[in-house]
């Protein structure tokens, strides 16, 4: 990155901290609390935003995999917004952008919500006005994680993997059963879902933020251990496909764009502009900024407002 970009990144972080949405406050890694006002507006669209963009100076022994994990990010989301940086031997003292601000998906805002294109899980707990968010690994293109509504049907520590016949045929050394232990790709904790899928840990932490599973959802081992203890049987699971999210902060509109990883969206520019038109925002946004964000797919929120939205328009 150029010295100019480094300065811009630092300035961007300053602005975000200065004008941060007061409705959310961060606690430990992955945990956010929201106030009653935000809770009352969680059914609104555009949706609120959480977190903040950060920067990080690379140390001599760092790789992007290490940095992503330490900030609870997936490998892909860190790499995409820092294009051109060698992921294995990044230059020492280089300034990285840490993409730790997110527009919430348009969803039910209850239980577990997974947005496939951003490879991220949100867990909403309305009783405590809190939510957790974690990066995830998802199904390969030939084994896509399905959209739809599910429920957590069971919990298992140290699970045994009974390998489906369809997967055994793809293995170099086919196995019918993989016992608990370091060779088990399910990791130490498993939440079974309806329709035969699951949310689990992994014996390959570097697969988080990538398409590496046969349809299930993976978390970093440390995230899964924590998540396993707070997620209950019967919790609803909503799996969405939203490569483009539109959010609001301080009466300004933002757009956040991810790769259309399963090739679902035929014309993202047309669909996004059409959506803004239906919402009555089309004359309040910068079309060129929208097109640029859709082309870059950085996963970073981009302000697209020309005229701030009013309180009545937000409703």
Residues 174 and 251 sit within 8 Å (Cβ to Cβ): no
Of 81, 200, 214, 303, which residue is the catalytic one?
A: 200
| 3-class SS string, the chain | CCHHHHHHHHHHHHHHHHCCCCCEEECCCCEEEECHHHHHCCCCCCECEEECCEEEECCCCCCHHHHHHHCCCCHHHHHHCCCCCCCCCCCCCCEEEECCEEECCCCCCCEEEEECCCCEEEEEEHHHCEEEEEECEEECHHHCCCCEEEEEEEEEECCCEECCHHHHCCCCCCCCEECCCCCCCCCCEEEEEHHHCEEECCCCHHHCCCEEECCCEECCHHHHHHHHHHCCCCCEEEEECCCEEEEEECCEEEEEECCCCCCCCCCHHHHHHHHHHHHCCHHHECHHHHHHHHHHCCCCCEECECCCCCHHHHC
Is there a catalytic annotation at residue 303? no
Of 4, 81, 107, 216, which residue is the catalytic one?
A: 216
β-strands 244-249, 31-34 pairing: unpaired
- Residue 11, C-beta contacts closer than 8 angstroms, at least 6 positions apart: none
Is there a catalytic annotation at residue 214? no
Residue with tokens 């952008």: 97
Q: Which residues are catalytic?
A: 200, 216
């Amino acid at each position: 990155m150029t010295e100019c970009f480094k300065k811009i990144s630092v300035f961007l972080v300053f602005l975000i901290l200065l004008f941060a949405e007061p409705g959310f406050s961060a606690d430990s890694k992955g945990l956010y609390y929201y106030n009653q006002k935000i809770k009352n507006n969680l059914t609104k669209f555009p949706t609120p935003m959480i977190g903040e963009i950060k920067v990080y100076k690379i140390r001599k022994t760092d790789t992007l995999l290490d940095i992503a994990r330490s900030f609870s990010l997936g490998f892909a989301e860190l790499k995409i917004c820092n294009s051109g940086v060698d992921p294995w031997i990044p230059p020492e003292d280089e300034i990285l952008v840490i993409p730790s601000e997110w527009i919430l998906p348009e969803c039910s805002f209850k239980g577990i919500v997974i947005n496939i294109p951003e490879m991220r899980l949100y867990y909403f707990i309305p009783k405590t006005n809190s939510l957790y968010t974690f990066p995830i690994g998802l199904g390969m293109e030939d084994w896509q994680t399905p959209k739809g509504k599910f429920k957590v049907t069971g919990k298992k520590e140290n699970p045994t993997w009974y390998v489906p016949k369809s997967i055994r045929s793809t293995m170099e050394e086919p196995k019918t059963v993989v016992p608990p232990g370091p060779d088990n790709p399910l990791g130490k904790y498993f939440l079974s879902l309806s329709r035969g899928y699951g949310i689990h840990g992994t014996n390959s932490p570097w697969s988080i933020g990538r398409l590496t599973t046969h349809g299930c959802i993976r978390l970093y081992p440390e995230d899964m251990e924590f998540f396993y203890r707070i997620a209950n049987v019967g919790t609803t699971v909503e799996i969405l496909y939203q490569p483009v999210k539109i959010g609001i902060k301080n009466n300004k509109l933002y757009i956040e764009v991810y790769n259309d990883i399963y090739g679902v969206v035929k014309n993202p520019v047309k669909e996004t502009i059409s959506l803004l038109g239906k919402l009555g925002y089309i004359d309040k946004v910068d079309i060129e900024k929208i097109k640029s964000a859709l082309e870059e797919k950085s996963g970073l929120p981009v302000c697209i407002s020309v005229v701030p939205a009013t309180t009545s328009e937000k409703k």
